[in-house]
Structure 1
Amino acid sequence: MSALRSNLFLLALGLSLLGLAMVYSATYREFGSHYLVVRAAHVVVGVVVFWLASRVRYTVWRRIAPWLYLGTVAGLLLVFVPGVGVRAGGAWRWVDLGFFTLQPGELAKLAAVVTLSCAVARLPAGSGLPLRALGAVGVLFGLVLVEPDFGTSLVVLGGMAGVLWASEVRTRDLLGCGAAAFAVLVAVMLLAPYRRERFMTFLDPWAVADGSGYQVVQGMLAISSGGLFGEGAGAGSRSAAVPELPTDMIFALVGEELGFVGMAAVIAAFGMLGLYGVRVALTAPSALARCMASGITAMLCVQAVLNMGAVMVVLPLAGITLPFVSYGGSSLLVSFAAVGILYRISEDGERAREVVGGERSADARGDSGRRHGRPRDPRAVRG
């Protein structure tokens, strides 16, 4: 399991370093080394956040959860305050802290997982849905949705689904909750004109290549120009026409400069991250640890699938970053914190198994001693 923990960190770090190179390639022509320096600082701080999260026992998150939840709700409300919230692209998603622009929606993903995990972990097997906890997490989902940030709200739901999947809640209640969530998502998508337009663009982007399909089409052209092995790091030119290249569309740059092989490697890295996360959940030492590990794994993987699927036109555009790879400080720090929590759960699980194994070994030695007429405790022998 120690190798698994090392691999978790190395995957996160490797993807972040790839992102560092891709962000520089996407921005150096216009901004020089500015975004390279900022991104490098984000990676360094992210590693520190990982280390801090990996030092916190998973049980401590029960005490942290209420404060994390309240702080996230406050942040999500602050984005709408004039002079504090930052509006860009028609959405209120950021809070200007002066030295750093925080995206509370990123915190909402982790807060939803931790809050719901602490609630469902206390439930006995076969319990119904924890409606109060679902309502509390639903507030996070709703605030993210009205920014509006449909993509991040989908990731919040993905993390919640991961938590509930690992819980002891009745299967029929889980199915009912899933059906209700699906109905809400369909309604939300159909009620907003720009979301309907995104879906129609996904069905036939070439029909609106000069309009709403421009971003998708340019991303497809960038990927196709990369071929099998790509044009080389820093040599991409077609992707320069892709809107939101350093953030939402960074995977298109990976395809152009590193080719199909590079894209396959990134997909494989996220696949391995998902498999390691599932293994951590399956070997977790308690219900709380299992729910948190499952929710975090689902959160990271759902976001990666939504981003890469949109760039490859397998899914509609969601307007979210690729974890660890895209430019975005809030996203990177939350992703590193999530992997740090997984790391600690794995470590605590291994320690718990060692304790149980030691007790069983001691019991076995005691039983063997009694069978041979020896007392279990050597101190009972009097000379």
Structure 2
Amino acid sequence: MGSLLRPVDLVNQPLGFQERHKILQKLFKQLQKAYAHTKRTNIDLERLATRLEVHVAKNSLSGQSYKFNMSILLRDILKYKGDLSKVKINGRPLKGSKPCLYSNSNTGHITTKSKAMEALKSLILDVKALEKNGYIVEEMQNEVNDDNNAQLYAPCLRCNTNFKKIDIMEKTLCRYHPSKRIYNRDTRSHQYPCCGETTNSVSFLRLGCKTFLHHVFRGESYNELCRISKFSSTEHIDGVENVLSLDCEMAFTSLGYEMIRLTIVDFFTGRTLFDHVIQPIGDIVDLNSDYSGVHEIDRTKCPTYQEALAIFLSENLINKNSILVGHGLENDLNVMRIFHDKVIDTAILYSKSKFKVSLKNLAFEVLSRKIQNGEHDSSQDAIATMDVVKVKIGISPRQTTWKE
């Protein structure tokens, strides 16, 4: 049970992981008691416990209020014999107020391709939304700046040390934390989940629990990205109207941040149309294997970026009529170096105010599916993103055949 039951990561955590994990286990045991005479399986109860806990965590302003709300929930689950419609958190009914799921109650209602296309087109982002969320749009071609002096130095993405880009392949010491720090409201300090160190710590480990022999950087502006390779526009590619879900894995190279794997999945059939490890243009600094899942790139077998581009930018794959589905898709299109304006982005679609929910959390909350428990897999992520959109517009993730 312990290995499967874990709290969902949040932007603002009311309590630390270990405390939330203990309370989640108590909640699971309480649900077992409440539903002992029903046909609900332990897997069902694990999913329910996780959804209830994350709902309380999101609606608690502090660690103290979180503990209080959870104590009420633990009490009322038995008091009302598992009838969640009678349970209230912060004075609000647990059911009927978007408690735990993003899911669409109409799932399975769309069975024709024409209706699906109509629903999908309503989710396409306009140009202003694309620009606001970091997408490179074609109009930016006129903003290229050739000031080379401004590009000589870069802050290391991991340790924030300012270094000379041309020295990136020279060995040095980069000390960093692989996990992003999380703010703890009770201690009023940030904590690193990777090692438990806080920003208030006097230990040497507060500077980083991991080391690497190179600094790394990531260019994000159009000007910086063009220094790796120019962008291609889909507007010049005629082709079939299709809907494609895609995801890239990236690595750090001598030129910055580059694509090393691309997966493209067809929305309507669920078939994988393209899935290749790709040679980056620059020399490899770090494959980022803990996240990318790529451990080796065989330069004698894997296609180059230009060879891959000729395949995935074509009339039967990505063309001017394609609708592209992804999570934080601006990152993928930037490393693919393509301009495209028909985009559905689940990170924006499900965003809450200025915060964007992770695909890992979204897949669990919408699909009850656990992904990214270890290394990332672009195939798994592309399929999860596609299924999240299907649920959003009322399509069963299992549907692969369509009426016209």
Q: Same fold by TM-score, threshold 0.5 exceeded?
A: no
Higher strand share: 2
Taking CA–CA contacts closer than 8 Å with sequence separation of 6 or more, which of the two structures ends up with the larger relative contact order?
1
Higher helix share: 1
Q: TM-score normalized by structure 1? A: 0.27
